[in-house]
Chain A
Amino acid sequence: MTMTAASPARHHRARSDLSRAGRGLFLAAASLVFLSYVLMPVAWLVSSSFQSEREIVSKPPHWLPHEPTAQNFSAIFFAGEKAVTYETRRKGDPATGGFIPSTAGNLLPSMRNSLVVACSVAFLNLLIGVPAAYAMAKVRFRGRQASIYGILTTRVIPDIALVVPFFLFIRNLGLLDTIWSLIITYLAVTVPFSVFILVSYFESLPDELDKAARVDGCSRWQTLTKVFMPLALPSLVAVILFAFLASWNEFLLALMFTQTPKSQTLPIIVASFTSDFTISFSFINAAGVLAIVPPVLLALLFERYIVSGLTAGAVKG
């Protein structure tokens, strides 16, 4: 009796063990496929940036460089010391034999422009967005609903529709070809979404907390800085990341409003490398590697807040 009772149970356990193992295997395989889909382009970007232009076009491609070279990076960081001209290249100068574009020296200044713009936009997003969102979430005033909807409506207008009005606006202010033109227009594009993220987070914090702080002796401003901002840290990080990345990657407006390396940002300069005398894809990829460094650093810095910040406000409670 015990035998017959035990053996089906054992069978059952064995079967469930098997199915659990199979499920694990399937999940691992699926993750692997997904990871390669996401990471392979990045791996190729990094690998090819250390290859010469000759190696990069080899068939089959070399996933690990056979003759690693730092010439692309040295061309970027020591651009000033090399006079890259049509003549030097025609003479077959070995230093410039890698088809390095003549404007390689513009890359670092453009990176600085990008950093200044992205950091300013991120900071100003907080400065403008946090008080605005607090007011919309916690202060009862006439037109509160209208202002929330108004700000959300601006998000459904595609950027391309705004280019011409923005251009006229920037030109009349005399800000064409300055980084100010970018800071101003990026703010217009990013602030509404930042406010939206923050409003939903602030709304998820109980009203009584706001009341308690004010009765405890906080002015509205102190309530915001001493109680709401520390509690909303994940959403503040989400705003910083969003604003920084949006500005860092922005192409269209930067293409319209900047004309010289004085104000041009990284995406514009990198794109310009494809219209030089010759095109070096390994060099462009080296520029791409530098372009992903700041966002990656930022993500590492705020890693523990990112997940909670992006989902914050999605579910109230």
Chain B
Amino acid sequence: MASIRFKDVTKRYGDVVAVHDLNLEIKDREFVVLLGPSGCGKSTTLNMIAGLEEITDGELWFDQQIVNALPPHRRDVAMVFQSYALYPHKTVYENIAFGLRMRKLAGAELDRRVRDAAAKLEISQLLERRPSQLSGGQRQRVALGRAMVRQPSVFLMDEPLSNLDAALRISMRAEIKRLHTEMQTTFVYVTHDQAEALTLADRIVVMNDGLVQQIGTAHEIYERPVNMFVASFLGNPPINYLKGEMTRSGDELRFRRGQVDLAIPPALAARLNGFKGSQVCIGMRAEDVDERGTPAPGRAISGRVTSVLPIGSDQFLGLELEGEELFFRVGKDLRHATGETAALAVDVNRLHIFDPDSGRSLLW
């Protein structure tokens, strides 16, 4: 159990800045997910916590101690890797026991802990096998076992589910969540998969180009993205952007782009008071439309249907609007054919409005 604090931490490889001026506090027993595209610095951040990468600038604190110079084997951390990184020459039992043996644990206590962990992960029958004889899912469990048996104060995971197939990924997600509840320890989890981040995290740290974009709960990140990068990184299909003009007539604020004319509700309009420009970019989440009935004026969009992609529970509808192709998620009952014109009602209360130059949200 430990809290982790990054204070102005920078990591450079030669001229390349991998992580820039990171300030982050991870509370004891918190489950934090570092989310971002590849090369955004999330794995580097995780490696710095483990001590596998040196910190170029700044301070890293574990509780009340600066650990910048502490080598990995002196930090009480355990780590699960994307490639599992099991020791090929050791049996499953010895793989799990290795970390304990390195900490001078032996005898009955070691045996008990290894078998406990194996039982919890349902790999007891595999203890005598070697990693090469296991399936991907089984290897992943061994890797988890090897980390949890140590009862570390910080549990690090670097894209642990990326090599598993889709069904297994979902069940392992639930298992990891359960593990966190049981172990009562600090988890830091790196992924580029928004679904993993949203389901697992107490808090999500969205990163891009070595910079933290936003830190918040899954709800905050999804509902109140601070910039266009965060907004587009979460959501499936991704959020739709439409640039246009904001006009004010009296108390009423409207967004216009060719045929598109949306009334901005007063709650949102009030937040835009400080904004002087007229060009904005609105963001519409794919699911924030209603396909039933005839939309009221001021919240309607209509365009030519470019594609209909049923995904079972819903369908994705591609709509050409003012020269842009937007994607929406609509109910499976909606029947439209490619080439037809469809009209949808936008939930204007859930619109996102960004400054098109800086990409920043004008709302949050």
What residues of chain A have their CB less than 8 Å away from a CB belonging to chain B?
A: 206, 208-209, 211-219, 222, 227, 230-231
**When the two chains form the complex, which single residue of B47, B79, B103, B150 contacts A212, counting CB atoms closer than 8 Å?**
B79
Determine whether B77 belongs to the interface, using a CB cutoff of 8 Å to chain A.
Answer: yes
**When the two chains form the complex, which single residue of B81, B98, B99 contacts A208, counting CB atoms closer than 8 Å?**
B81
- Nearest to A209 among chain B residues (CB) is B85
Query: A230 with B83: in contact, given A216-B102, A218-B73 (CB under 8 Å)?
Result: no
Asked whether, in the complex, the Cβ of A212 is within 8 Å of the Cβ of B85, the reply is yes
- Nearest to B81 among chain A residues (CB) is A208
Asked whether, in the complex, the Cβ of B85 is within 8 Å of the Cβ of A206, the reply is yes
The residues of B that contact A227 with a CB separation of less than 8 Å are: 87
**When the two chains form the complex, which single residue of B77, B86, B88 contacts A215, counting CB atoms closer than 8 Å?**
B77
Query: A212 with B81: in contact, given A217-B99, A227-B87, A231-B89 (CB under 8 Å)?
Result: yes
Asked whether, in the complex, the Cβ of B102 is within 8 Å of the Cβ of A218, the reply is yes
Determine whether B50 belongs to the interface, using a CB cutoff of 8 Å to chain A.
Answer: yes
Can you name 22 A-B pairs with beta carbons within 8 Å? A206-B85, A208-B85, A211-B47, A211-B50, A211-B72, A211-B85, A212-B86, A212-B146, A215-B50, A215-B72, A215-B73, A215-B77, A215-B78, A216-B146, A217-B99, A217-B103, A218-B73, A219-B71, A219-B73, A222-B73, A222-B102, A227-B87
Alpha-carbon gap, A27 to B73, bound state (A):
56
- Nearest to B54 among chain A residues (CB) is A140
**When the two chains form the complex, which single residue of B83, B89, B102, B146 contacts A206, counting CB atoms closer than 8 Å?**
B83
The residues of B that contact A215 with a CB separation of less than 8 Å are: 50-52, 72-73, 77-79, 156
- Min CB–CB distance A305 → chain B (angstroms): 14
Number of residue pairs A-B, CB distance < 8 angstroms: 59
Alpha-carbon gap, A218 to B146, bound state (A):
14
Asked whether, in the complex, the Cβ of B52 is within 8 Å of the Cβ of A211, the reply is yes
Asked whether, in the complex, the Cβ of A217 is within 8 Å of the Cβ of B102, the reply is yes
Query: A209 with B87: in contact, given A215-B79, A218-B102 (CB under 8 Å)?
Result: yes
The 5 closest A-B CB pairs, nearest first, are: A217-B102, A208-B85, A212-B85, A216-B99, A214-B72
**When the two chains form the complex, which single residue of B71, B81, B88, B146 contacts A211, counting CB atoms closer than 8 Å?**
B81
Interface residues of B in 276-303 (CB under 8 A from A): none
- Nearest to A215 among chain B residues (CB) is B79
The residues of B that contact A213 with a CB separation of less than 8 Å are: 87, 98
Alpha-carbon gap, A147 to B154, bound state (A):
36
The residues of B that contact A208 with a CB separation of less than 8 Å are: 81-83, 85
The residues of B that contact A214 with a CB separation of less than 8 Å are: 51-52, 71-73
- Nearest to A217 among chain B residues (CB) is B102
- Min CB–CB distance B352 → chain A (angstroms): 39
Interface residues of B in 39-77 (CB under 8 A from A): 47, 50-52, 71-73, 77
Alpha-carbon gap, A222 to B101, bound state (A):
12
Asked whether, in the complex, the Cβ of B88 is within 8 Å of the Cβ of A231, the reply is yes
The residues of B that contact A230 with a CB separation of less than 8 Å are: 89
- Nearest to A220 among chain B residues (CB) is B71
The residues of A that contact B103 with a CB separation of less than 8 Å are: 217
- Min CB–CB distance A202 → chain B (angstroms): 14
Alpha-carbon gap, A52 to B87, bound state (A):
59
The residues of A that contact B85 with a CB separation of less than 8 Å are: 206, 208-209, 211-212
- Min CB–CB distance A304 → chain B (angstroms): 15
Residue interface bits B9-24, CB-to-A below 8 A is 1, else 0: 0000000000000000
- Nearest to B77 among chain A residues (CB) is A215
The residues of A that contact B98 with a CB separation of less than 8 Å are: 213, 216
Interface centre among A211, A219, A227 (most CB of B within 10 A): A211
The residues of B that contact A216 with a CB separation of less than 8 Å are: 73, 78, 98-99, 102, 146, 150
The residues of A that contact B51 with a CB separation of less than 8 Å are: 214-215
Alpha-carbon gap, A217 to B150, bound state (A):
10
* Extra contacts besides A208-B85, A212-B79 (6): CB < 8 Å: A206-B85, A211-B52, A215-B52, A216-B99, A222-B73, A231-B88
The residues of A that contact B73 with a CB separation of less than 8 Å are: 214-219, 222
- Min CB–CB distance A312 → chain B (angstroms): 14
Alpha-carbon gap, A217 to B74, bound state (A):
7
The residues of A that contact B150 with a CB separation of less than 8 Å are: 216
- Min CB–CB distance B338 → chain A (angstroms): 45
Asked whether, in the complex, the Cβ of A211 is within 8 Å of the Cβ of B102, the reply is no
The residues of B that contact A219 with a CB separation of less than 8 Å are: 71, 73
The residues of B that contact A222 with a CB separation of less than 8 Å are: 73, 102
- Min CB–CB distance A54 → chain B (angstroms): 58
Alpha-carbon gap, A218 to B88, bound state (A):
17
Alpha-carbon gap, A211 to B99, bound state (A):
13
The residues of A that contact B86 with a CB separation of less than 8 Å are: 212
The residues of B that contact A212 with a CB separation of less than 8 Å are: 79, 81, 85-87, 146
- Min CB–CB distance A292 → chain B (angstroms): 34
The residues of B that contact A206 with a CB separation of less than 8 Å are: 83, 85
- Min CB–CB distance B13 → chain A (angstroms): 9
The residues of A that contact B79 with a CB separation of less than 8 Å are: 211-212, 215
- Nearest to A231 among chain B residues (CB) is B89
- Min CB–CB distance B158 → chain A (angstroms): 8
Alpha-carbon gap, A214 to B102, bound state (A):
10
Interface centre among A209, A211, A215, A231 (most CB of B within 10 A): A215
